[in-house]
């Protein structure tokens, strides 16, 4: 999925101006939990910025995850707490709850436009309901898969069960007997695909 720099803009579009193309994005340190407040200041001053969020649904009163969206209240949780991404052409004035630009040693931390597009893809994937997510290799029951994460890394097994919530059961022939494991869809890949590096 291709992303344009306009996908990340809120300030220039609101001002009706054509903002210059960003060559990279700076990381702005903010106090954790204050990202939305800082973004409201950005909108007030017409500054472009973005921070990735994950939307979840929490049961009212109890606080646990809701079985279905209409049974709970919507909660926004930042994927990278304490960071807001700002394009290189923006100048950020002194704002409340902002600690300054993030540095690694003496260097100003920044991300490329391609890395920002990948982060946007991760946000889109996490905010897609599990029943609508496409599995990377279009997995099917009975298919051979390789474990790519966890204590059984690099073991090969057969996909035994796959449900609409993204939970998998993989049958691995290990230790002279078959072991059935419950795994997440991100922990396996089809045998035919190239291993992740």
Nearest CA to 32 out of 83, 75, 74 is that of: 83
The last residue of one of the domains, among 68, 93, 127, is 127
The helix or strand, by DSSP H or E, that contains position 26, with its residue range, turns out to be strand 24-30
Using one digit for the tens of pLDDT, what is the confidence trace for 75-102?
888 888 899 999 988 888 889 889 889 8
Per-residue model confidence as pLDDT tens digits over 134-183:
554 467 778 888 888 777 777 888 888 776 666 678 888 766 667 777 77
Query: In this predicted structure, what is the pLDDT of residue 61?
Result: 74
Q: Do residues 66 and 104 both lie within one domain? A: yes
Domain boundary among 127, 157, 179: 127
According to the model, what pLDDT value does residue 125 have? 79
Question: Distance between CA 111 and CA 116 in Å, rounded?
Answer: 7
pLDDT tens, residue by residue, 13-58: 545 556 678 888 999 999 988 999 999 999 999 988 988 988 888 8
Three-state DSSP state, 95:
coil
Please name which of 66, 70, 81 lies closest in space to residue 29, comparing C-alpha atoms. Answer: 81
Residues 77 and 140 placed together within one structural domain of the fold: no
Give residue for tokens 């300030």: 11
The whole-model pTM stands at: 0.58
Considering the domain architecture, whether residues 103 and 65 belong to the same structural domain is answered as yes
Instruction: Verify that 54 and 115 share a domain, yes or no.
Output: yes
Q: Please, are residues 1 and 91 in contact by the beta-carbon 8 Å criterion?
A: no
Each residue of 167-194: b (16+ CB within 10 Å) or e?
Answer: ebbbbbeeeeeeeebebebebbbbeeee
Q: What is the pLDDT of residue 62?
A: 74
**In percent, how much of the chain has pLDDT > 70?**
76
Q: Are 111 and 143 found together in one domain? A: no
Domain hosting 39: range is 5-127
């Amino acid at each position: 999925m291709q992303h344009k720099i306009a996908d990340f803009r809120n300030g220039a579009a609101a001002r009706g101006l054509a903002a210059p193309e960003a060559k990279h994005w700076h990381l702005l340190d903010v106090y954790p939990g204050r990202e939305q407040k800082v973004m409201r200041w950005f909108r007030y001053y017409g500054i472009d910025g973005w921070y990735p969020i994950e939307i979840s649904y929490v049961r009212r009163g109890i606080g646990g995850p809701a079985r279905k969206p209409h049974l709970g209240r919507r909660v926004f949780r930042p994927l990278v707490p304490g960071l807001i991404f700002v394009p290189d052409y923006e100048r950020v004035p002194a704002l409340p709850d902002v600690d300054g630009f993030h540095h690694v040693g003496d260097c100003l931390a920044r991300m490329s436009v391609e890395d920002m597009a990948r982060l946007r893809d991760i946000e889109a994937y996490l905010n897609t309901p599990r029943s609508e997510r496409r599995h990377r290799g279009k997995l099917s029951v009975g298919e051979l898969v390789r474990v790519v994460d966890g204590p059984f890394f690099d073991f090969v097994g057969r996909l035994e069960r796959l449900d609409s919530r993204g939970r998998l059961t993989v049958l691995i022939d290990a230790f002279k007997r078959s072991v059935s494991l419950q795994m997440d869809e991100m922990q396996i890949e089809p045998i035919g695909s190239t291993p992740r590096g």
